[in-house]
Chain A
Amino acid sequence: MTAAAGNIPKPKRRLGDLVFSRVSVFAGILILVVLAAVAVFLTAYSLPAFFADPKTLSSSQPTSFWAYVAPLAFGTVWAAFLALLISLPFSILVALFVTQYAPRRLATIFGYIIDILAAVPSVVFGLWGIVVLAPSIVPVYTWISDALGWIPLFSGPVAADGRTILTAAIVLAIMILPIMTAMCREVFDQTPRLHIEAALALGATRWEMVKTAVLPFGRPGIIAAAMLVLSPAQVISFALFHSENPNTIAANIALNYPESSGIQVNALMASGLILFVITILVNMLARWIVRRRAAFSGAN
């Protein structure tokens, strides 16, 4: 009797439990394997391009692999940066309007509209950009060139069809605007009610309330949204733009891949690898910023 009391039975491991937990672990490990495979395969397929005769890499006969990929990488980063520069202030302001300024009932409707716009496929944005935006933006470029031509930056002839990297960046900016607004809106919506009411109760104007309660709370979220939204957005819209002279990595691959063979495929893979590395670096930077900022934000 006494011996049995000291002998606490071990919890029974049920078969269902074992199977289910193993299956879910397996699913998680599968993701690790896929990501590792992405890196390994891309690297394996890229290696020949680094060592091959650079003249065979592309029809433009570059002098070295880096001469081939550097302008594309620069174009990618530059277009993304310009797009972010245009789009970030707008999406913060629009998200503020929807969450803090608009009447409640309207705000829900605007929220739905933004979410629906965020789902518009990128290829449609590209099509719109080339057919509607590019022609209608040429007069503005011409005017800038005429009026500000004395500044070296704005001198020189204007591209007649408006298909420049700035136009591409504007299209990209318009494309990421609803996505980023939707993300910012979610973050701003989670501002603690008490912070807002406390600020207002202290006599803050609406802007002071936003500045002291909403923005500090949302800052890490905004940064994360900005960095995250760009990577999926490095998309086909460029391919529609620069059909003769692609200047971003994604467009170059999309345009040339179907017609390439042999070492050219390896070169395209290598440029894809570089895009992958750039994206991961930006991504990690974003997370690092978010983590560093999180400690000081109004969230706690």
Chain B
Amino acid sequence: MSTSTMNANRSNTLAAGRLRPGVMVSMGVFAVAVPLFVLWALVGNLPNLFVVAFIAIILFLILLGVTSRIVEGGRRAKDRVITTLVVSSFVLALVPLVSLLWTVIARGLTRFDGSFFGMSMRNIVGNGGGALHAIIGTLLITLMATIISVPVGILTAIYLTEYARGNVLSKVLSALVDVMTGIPSIVAGLFIAALAGLLIGPGTTTGFLGALALSVLMVPTVVRSAEEMLKLVPNELREASYALGVPKWVTVLRVVVRTAAAGLTTSVMLAISRVIGETAPLLIVAGFTPSMNYNLFSGPMMTLPVFVYDQYAHKGLPPEAFDARSWAGALTLILLAMVLNVGARLLGKLLSPKTR
């Protein structure tokens, strides 16, 4: 008799003041079922699932908060509500992003074929055609932008971390690099357009100008992330090198930059993946063309983002063909950015010097 009550008491003390999982599951089912059926009854057909989910989450939060406050007290109730909020907002945030990826893949695959990667848009009026000219243009312009901005960016980062010991120039420079990260991409395009208008003649569009505009956007990103990477190099390495009588510039090149090589590669590739999808500046300074153009220095050059925009915004007949090309271009663009992104991380892992 007494042992059984003790047992009961013990199981009670362990479970006391806690919501049982069963209770929460039933509250969850209730919270989903009520808006679903109420809306179904009101609207007549299956309601928008996103709206149902939204109402269900709010309902569940209220139910959980109230019951938990009664059973478990205020602190734990708050914790439970916030946990639910965090998890559900994660799920909610994923919905549009998954929808985006799904749409691009589903619609992009219709024209993701050989001729899309093998043909330009020259003399194409309706169906067919491809984005080869735009892909080549994007690769050339991005390559050129990288060639311009990587040395400038990394050297500036080296100056900031290795040479400037908090002097006035470095303070001004770091503030201005921050300002530069905030330059809207369209302003970079306008700046290059203004420059070209003055030096060459108004309305000039070439691939090289596009690369310059992208460099304006790329340099600050490279500087910022390269600086972070160089700062991670332990000071002991520099001091060891100096102690061996190695000149400063050799130390910087062979010790500091070598140690940070992986991080620098990653930061450069991430910077590329940021600018490869830029549309606005290229629209202004690199221009539109349906033809192949391998020459960065003369004539307009098509790029992939501009191609996507152009095919969608300036549709001819039949419009489906233009839509399909636009989505296929979008898919190619996403894939390019992803390959760069994943590649950057893999390279970063592979190249990083073994510290253990």
> Chain A: residues with CB nearer than 8 A to chain B?
14, 16-17, 19-21, 23-32, 34-35, 37-38, 41-42, 44-45, 89-91, 93-94, 96-98, 101, 112, 115-117, 119-128, 131-133, 136, 139-140, 174, 177-178, 181, 205-208, 210, 228, 231-232, 234-236, 239-240, 243, 249-250, 253-254, 257-258, 261, 265, 268-269, 272, 275-276, 279-280, 282-284, 287
Contact = CB atoms under 8 A, between A and B. Distances in A.
Contact of A94 (B89, B158, B175, B313): B89
7 contacts: A25-B159, A26-B155, A27-B152, A28-B159, A94-B89, A231-B181, A275-B184
Contacts of B276: 121
B277 A101 contact: no
A124 B334 CA distance: 8
Interface stretch (B4-12, B116-124, B125-133, B185-193): B185-193
B103 A90 contact: no
B75 A90 contact: no
B159 A128 contact: no
Contacts of B186: 234-235, 249-250, 253-254, 272, 275
Nearest to A12: B247
B169 A28 contact: yes
Most chain B CB within a 10 A radius of its CB, from A98, A120, A133: A120
| In the A-B complex, the 4 residue pairs with the closest CB atoms | A121-B277, A27-B155, A20-B249, A205-B79
A295 B97 CA distance: 37
Interface string B317-339: 00000000011001001100110
Given A32-B176, A127-B308, A208 B79 contact: yes
Nearest to A121: B277
Interface string B69-113: 000000110110011011101101100110110011000000000
Contacts of A133: 96
Interface stretch (B25-33, B59-67, B279-287): B279-287
A28 B179 contact: no
Given A140-B48, A174-B97, A253 B280 contact: yes
Contacts of A205: 75-76, 78-79
A178 to B, nearest CB: 7
A116 B338 contact: yes
Interface residues of B, number: 98
A16 B250 contact: yes
Interface stretch (B16-24, B139-147, B195-203, B289-297): B195-203
B90 A35 contact: no
Contacts of A93: 85-86, 89-90, 93
A123 to B, nearest CB: 5
Label chain B's interface by main secondary structure.
helix
A178 B64 CA distance: 29
B176 A42 contact: no
B14 to A, nearest CB: 18
A197 B276 CA distance: 42
Nearest to B79: A205
A140 to B, nearest CB: 7
Nearest to B102: A132
Nearest to A173: B96
A94 B273 CA distance: 23
Given A119-B337, A205-B76, A234-B184, A37 B179 contact: no
B248 to A, nearest CB: 5
B172 interface: yes
B177 interface: yes
A90 B88 CA distance: 10
A254 B185 CA distance: 11
A123 B159 contact: no
A257 B280 CA distance: 10
B194 A44 contact: yes
A32 B308 contact: no
B277 A28 contact: no
Contacts of A45: 190, 194, 197
Contacts of B85: 93
Given A116-B341, A132-B99, A205-B76, A228 B277 contact: no
